[in-house]
Amino acid sequence: MLGQEKIFPNCKSRHKGLLLISPSVNSFLPRRIMSEKSDPKPEQGPSPIGEISQEPSALEAFLDANQKRLLIIGILAVLCLIGYVIVTGLQKKGRQDAAAAVAGGRTVPDYEALSKEYEGKVAGGTALLLKAQLLWSDQQQQEAITAVEDFISNYPEHPSFGNAHTTLGSYLQQVEKLDEAKAAFTKSAETKSATSSIALLSLGDIALQAGDPDKAKEYYDRIITEYEGTHPQVKGFAQERIKLIGVKPPVEKAPEPITPPGAVTPPTNFPGFKPKPIQPAPSIPATLPVRPPSPEPVETTTPETAPEAETEGATTEELPDLPKLDVPEETTPPAEGGNPSE
């Protein structure tokens, strides 16, 4: 029965006995346990499955606390953006105006004034390079070299910085300053500019001129490998120069003496015989002078003078030179049907 305790002497458990429950009580026990689990305790209250918090989120709390600051920051950002657009537009317009001014230059004084007006800007450097080109074309070579050197020292960020080294090297090469030209061409090749391949070609030409074909071929090979797809025309020049390396220039050969036809050359290996030099045959003109035939004498006939007409009243004494003519006597014609002797 409930509440009774029975002791099992053979049980090795530390418990002395087990509580035995009768079957009638056992059937009632699950219902009671389930009712205890389902019925909440009065002091704990109901426990819902999910709770919805009515408090504001962290973002909303941050925005409420910093609303004024965020508004000020937004206004400042808009103002900065507007200022950037305005400044960029003004700079672009200034560059366009400067480029137009440089394009309008025509003489050395024009480019000199423009280089000073836009000093430190791209337009000023461009005006300095154009000034150097005009000086070189006017045979003012040293002044042109000085202008290019000024550009290189004052405009290292200019887009034509590498091209200026190639121009300087070309000017120095033409005035036979090969060491300085090599230094300028080397600097241009290092910049990887639009004219770096031309600088390598010039370095190869200088090496070939100095008698170093191996060094020249090295420069030409660099053009073929480094500028294969970008500078095809300069690559073709390099390939042509490689083909000419080791080829000796033609030497003019003295003309051999001409032996006249039918002449016999004496043996030169006969002991004690010294051949006499063969005198060249006299030059025969290509066309012999032809004497024109003398003209045959032409028979001239004296024209007969016609007798002059008789003049009235003229006598033989008055004209002694006139020949006497035999004039036949006048005869009367015979009558018709008659005898001529009658």
What are the tens digits of pLDDT across the range 261-289?
655 555 555 555 565 665 655 555 555 55
Instruction: Examine the domain organization and report whether 132 and 189 are in the same domain.
Output: no
Could you tell me if 129 and 148 are in contact, meaning their C-beta atoms sit under 8 angstroms apart?
yes
Q: For the chain, what is the domain count? A: 2
Q: Which amino acid is at 241?
A: R
Residue 208 domain-assigned (yes or no):
yes
d(CA 124, CA 112): 9
CA distance 305 to 297: 24
Q: Taking the model in full, what pTM does it have?
A: 0.52
**Confidence (pLDDT) at 198:** 93
Amino acid sitting at position 33 = I
- The interaxial angle of helices 108-117 and 122-137, nearest 10 deg, is 160
Whether residue 202 contacts residue 170, with contact meaning beta carbons closer than 8 Å, is answered with: yes
Q: Single out the residue in 245, 264, 291 at which a domain terminates.
A: 245
102 and 136 share a domain? yes
The residue segments making up the domain with residue 198 are 181-245
pLDDT surpassing 70 at residue 135: yes
Give the pLDDT confidence of 182-200 residue by residue, as tens digits: 999 999 999 888 899 999 9
Percent of the chain with pLDDT over 90: 29
Residue 199 lies in a domain: yes
Query: Mapping DSSP to helix (H, G, I), strand (E, B) and coil, where does residue 107 land?
Result: coil
Within a domain: 309: no
pLDDT of 257 strictly over 70: no
SS3 5: strand
The pLDDT > 70 percentage for the chain reads: 56
> Is position 33 within any domain?
no
- End-of-domain residue from the set 90, 124, 159: 159
Instruction: Report the first-to-last Cα separation within the chain, whole angstroms.
Output: 235
131 part of a folded domain: yes
Q: Residue 25: what pLDDT?
A: 45
Point out the domain boundary residue: 205, 229, 245: 245
Residue 245 corresponds to which tokens in the numbers above? 């390396």
